[in-house]
A and B are shown apart, each in its own frame.
Chain A
Amino acid sequence: MQKPAVPQPHSSRAASWVLIAAVLALAVAAIGCVGGWLAPHRLTPQKLVDQFQRNAGTFPGYRRNHAKGVCVEGYFDSNGNAQAYSAAQVFAPGRTPVVGRFALPGSNPYAPDSSVPIRSLALRFTQANGQQWRTGMNSMTVFPVATPQAFFAQLQAQQPDPATGKPDPAKLAAFFAAHPETAAFRAWAKTAKPSASYATERYDGLNAFFFVDAHGQRHAVRWHVVPEATKADSDAARAGDTDYLAADLARRLQQAPLRWHLLVTLAEAGDPTNDATKTWPDDRRSIDAGTLVIESTTPQDSGPCRDVNYDPLVLPDGIEASDDPLLPARSAAYADSYLRRTSEEAHLPGTAAMDAKARGEAR
């Protein structure tokens, strides 16, 4: 540019520098504000995952929750019954390959199978068009809490007291008193027994979603899978065996594939879609959408489920998230857990080193 500079007179130069500094400071403050650096009380995915680690310890390379589990593979045979409600390819008649994972809730990959009465099943359906449906389901019909904030408070109440190594009963009691929405879950937990097999459990999606049909019409739904197998092998859970679930599953799959029916429950007007602590009335219509067939199992350290983040918001065209506040929180926290364990897998600086045992299992 040939134009000569016409500098500002000295008098107003200082004011200009102040203005420039103010604009830059404002820009830094703005991004800090959005990032929550100026809001230390905001619940972040990192805080949730940190609390899991605080409660059970850090097990490098493993998922921060549902750490103990096994990979499974199979397929979903759709019968076409759900097609009227969802345009997702997975519901057209035909077969969709599935990579899944049975697991126990909790962050300890060495927890005894009998330590919790809950089992979980995560599934990844890969449609022919490349879109995926990922879902994580649990063997209970309601979730203890309705919001991420309440879930965080529950995790905090469950944090072991350093003196006893166990959660403080007073803190737990205070949490339950402050969260009456946990009543349905607690009633279920009172009678729930750790099952001797993954194969005999019903797994419930808990969160509501919307199916979107070919005309763009949305239908509020929940889904669960019910097993064809009902007889748990009583020998499996013999005393002293802490890893009977994986062995039972392998034994059953040597005989024959295992089957579940995918049932989709349709909401009616007024049924809550944003509250996983509440079941919908029993008379709601359920559609049997097809059969989930599990054919094989592999250890999670070498199986195809190892590097899958079962993020419940990975959805195909034809399924949408509901307004359930747990869904984005699950998605955000799973992403953070996935980043932590893959970073440990990559031995990135600043990540927890995988101990010999963990490394051996993760490879």
Chain B
Amino acid sequence: MNTNTTTFALPARVLHWLMAVLIVAMLFIGVGMVSSVSERHAWLLAIHKPLGIAILVLAVVRLAVRWRNPPPPLPADLPALQKLAAHASHWLLYALMLAMPLIGWAMLSAGGYPVMLGDSLRLPAIFPASPVAFAVLRHLHGWLAALLYLTFLAHMGAALYHGLIRRDGVLSSMDGRRAATAILPETVDAARETGDAEPGDPA
């Protein structure tokens, strides 16, 4: 039977897939808008800023959910190096999904731009106006975006490796195929404490 420690909590899974779509879309929007002089430049930029702030808010919510619902452990037989890579890449993803919107916001502040999320909603500046800071932050925004995309590729490649080749339940812990019921944090904690988790059927 399915047990709660083999899957991520429902809010964690919903946030994961929602943010996956938003972050990947965001990277494509960013790359598209800086390489275009067409009307695409303007409308992609108009989406980029509010979407970035939405990702920042969701990342904070997600970390809170993760703190409340610890993720299932990796397979015990996973080589130590792969475990390390898994943990490091996850924390890198969390760091980047928090840092990218903040850097973008600080960069616009440093460039003296009003940070407009729409026609009339304006965020305050979070960095003093400075052309030097603008240039550094703008380049950082681009390089970290490339790093985020590479980390996403590694993450997706690893997920497929777990799902198709190792078939060790890591992919199904996030895709929700084995989660018949919504998981409450309390039951996760209870299951964790009793340690009575059982493997489910291979997805």
Contact surface of A with B, Cβ cutoff 8 Å: 1-8, 13, 16-17, 19-20, 23-24, 27-28, 30-31, 34-36, 42-46, 48, 129-132, 148, 212, 306-309, 311, 313-314, 317, 320-321, 323, 325, 327-329, 331-333, 335, 338-339, 341-343, 345-346, 348
Is B164's beta carbon under 8 Å from chain A?
yes
Contact sample, A vs B, 26 pairs, CB 8 Å cutoff: A1-B168, A2-B5, A5-B75, A5-B167, A6-B168, A16-B165, A19-B164, A31-B31, A43-B37, A44-B37, A148-B38, A307-B112, A307-B129, A307-B130, A311-B113, A313-B42, A317-B120, A328-B39, A328-B41, A332-B33, A332-B34, A338-B111, A339-B138, A343-B135, A345-B131, A345-B135
Contact of B161 among A20, A42, A148, A306 (CB under 8 A): A20
Establish whether residues B75 and A1, one from each chain, have CB atoms under 8 Å apart when the complex forms.
yes
Establish whether residues A130 and B138, one from each chain, have CB atoms under 8 Å apart when the complex forms.
no
A86 to chain B, nearest CB (A): 12
Establish whether residues A1 and B119, one from each chain, have CB atoms under 8 Å apart when the complex forms.
no
Establish whether residues A35 and B138, one from each chain, have CB atoms under 8 Å apart when the complex forms.
no
The distance in angstroms between the C-alpha atoms of A333 and B41, with both chains bound, is 10
Establish whether residues B76 and A328, one from each chain, have CB atoms under 8 Å apart when the complex forms.
no
In addition to A6-B168, A328-B36, A345-B131, 5 A-B residue pairs with Cβ atoms within 8 Å of each other are A1-B72, A31-B27, A31-B149, A131-B120, A343-B135
Chain B contributes a number of interface residues (CB within 8 A of A) equal to 60
Q: Report the nearest B residue to A329, measured CB to CB.
A: B37
**Known: A7-B167, A8-B164. Contact between A1 and B73, CB under 8 A?**
yes
Is B105's beta carbon under 8 Å from chain A?
no
The distance in angstroms between the C-alpha atoms of A5 and B167, with both chains bound, is 6
Contact of A328 among B42, B111, B120 (CB under 8 A): B42
Establish whether residues A24 and B41, one from each chain, have CB atoms under 8 Å apart when the complex forms.
no
Residues of B within 8 A of A332 (CB): 33-34, 36-37, 41
Residues of B within 8 A of A4 (CB): 75, 77, 168, 199
A141 to chain B, nearest CB (A): 24
Interface residues of B in 151-201 (CB under 8 A from A): 153, 156-157, 160-161, 164-170, 173, 197-200
Contact of B114 among A1, A17, A130 (CB under 8 A): A130
A167 to chain B, nearest CB (A): 23
Establish whether residues A346 and B153, one from each chain, have CB atoms under 8 Å apart when the complex forms.
no
Establish whether residues B135 and A131, one from each chain, have CB atoms under 8 Å apart when the complex forms.
no
**Known: A1-B170, A43-B37. Contact between A6 and B202, CB under 8 A?**
yes
Interface residues of B in 120-159 (CB under 8 A from A): 120, 122, 124, 129-132, 134-136, 138-139, 149, 153, 156-157
Establish whether residues B28 and A3, one from each chain, have CB atoms under 8 Å apart when the complex forms.
no
Is B74's beta carbon under 8 Å from chain A?
yes
Establish whether residues B160 and A23, one from each chain, have CB atoms under 8 Å apart when the complex forms.
yes
CB 8 Å contact bits of B66-105 with A (1 = contact, 0 = none): 0000001111110000000000000000000000000000
Establish whether residues B28 and A5, one from each chain, have CB atoms under 8 Å apart when the complex forms.
no
Contact surface of B with A, Cβ cutoff 8 Å: 5-6, 27-28, 31-42, 45, 72-77, 111-114, 116, 119-120, 122, 124, 129-132, 134-136, 138-139, 149, 153, 156-157, 160-161, 164-170, 173, 197-200, 202
Residues of A within 8 A of B136 (CB): 346, 348
Residues of A within 8 A of B153 (CB): 24, 27-28
The distance in angstroms between the C-alpha atoms of A7 and B173, with both chains bound, is 17
A216 to chain B, nearest CB (A): 10
Contact of B36 among A44, A327, A343 (CB under 8 A): A44
Establish whether residues A348 and B135, one from each chain, have CB atoms under 8 Å apart when the complex forms.
yes
Contact of A308 among B112, B130, B167 (CB under 8 A): B112
Establish whether residues B37 and A328, one from each chain, have CB atoms under 8 Å apart when the complex forms.
yes
The distance in angstroms between the C-alpha atoms of A148 and B37, with both chains bound, is 7
A340 to chain B, nearest CB (A): 9
The distance in angstroms between the C-alpha atoms of A343 and B129, with both chains bound, is 15
B163 to chain A, nearest CB (A): 9
The distance in angstroms between the C-alpha atoms of A23 and B161, with both chains bound, is 12
Q: Report the nearest B residue to A47, measured CB to CB.
A: B37
Q: Report the nearest A residue to B166, measured CB to CB.
A: A5
